[in-house]
Amino acid sequence: MKYLTGEKLNFDWKIVTVTIVSTLLLMIDYYHKFTAHKYWDRVILYLIVPLIIIIIFFRENPKEYGFSFGDWKLGVAYTVLGCLLMAPVIYFLGSGDEAMKKYYERFLVGLPWTTFLDLIGWEFIFRGWILFAYARKFGHEALWLQAVPFAIAHISKPEIETLSTIFGGFAFGWVAWRTKSFVYPFLIHWFIGTFIIIVAAEVV
């Protein structure tokens, strides 16, 4: 209870900015559409807006937020391993769950670039901007902290997927943490997102 003794509040303005802006961006994405395709909205909201804030307002190098290739050798190894491990899981769930099929089969047109554009900003905001900003203040706890809004943002998707995202979000965060880059969780997520749609559409 020592933290509730009326001590003067002392906020880290960058942590506050990341928390408020990322929350608002998720809400804006849910309620509004700005371009002809939702994936372009997400490139703007989740990639470009955070990068502008990092460069112009924080006056920092985006590399400090995982916007680099980091440890690329480790990253490639994790990416290959992650894809190999997830492929049979996705195939089993995607071909056996009607909710997954119904939700994802409609996204087949435009693959794989639609999922690329949809997920690159999505991964940067969680595994780049939020993760590395929070890590400065909260250390390893940032791995769980960034997984919470990630999981909540999946509500409205198939239940079996949504329930797994708190753990998947942690795993993606761990890969980013270890490699110092959002690129490798993005590549894994890109594979997962693309393969789910292919399986749901019964192409394989």
Q: What is the pLDDT of residue 6?
A: 60
Q: Is the dihedral of CA 87, 91, 97, 99 positive or negative?
A: positive
pLDDT at 95 over 90: no
pLDDT at 93 over 80: no
Q: What is the pLDDT of residue 4?
A: 56
Write the pLDDT tens digit of every residue in 105-135.
888 889 999 999 999 999 999 999 999 999 9
Cα–Cα distance for residue pair 133/149, rounded to 1 Å: 15
Write the pLDDT tens digit of every residue in 31-82.
999 999 999 999 999 999 999 999 999 999 999 999 999 999 999 999 999 9
Token pair 């999981």 in the structure block, residue: 151
C-beta neighbour count of 85 within 10 angstroms? 11
Q: What is the pLDDT of residue 52?
A: 98
pTM: 0.93
Q: What is the pLDDT of residue 7?
A: 73
Q: What is the pLDDT of residue 42?
A: 97
* pLDDT band at 175; cut points 50, 70, 90: very high
Q: Residues 6 or more apart from 132 whose CB is under 8 A from it?
A: 64, 65, 66, 142, 176
Domain boundary assignment for the chain? 2-200
Q: What is the pLDDT of residue 76?
A: 98
Q: Cα–Cα–Cα angle for 67, 121, 154, nearest 5°?
A: 130
Mean pLDDT of the residues in the chain: 93
Q: What is the pLDDT of residue 3?
A: 56
Q: Residues 6 or more apart from 94 whose CB is under 8 A from it?
A: 100, 101, 104, 195, 196, 199, 200
Cα–Cα distance for residue pair 32/38, rounded to 1 Å: 9
* pLDDT band at 2; cut points 50, 70, 90: low
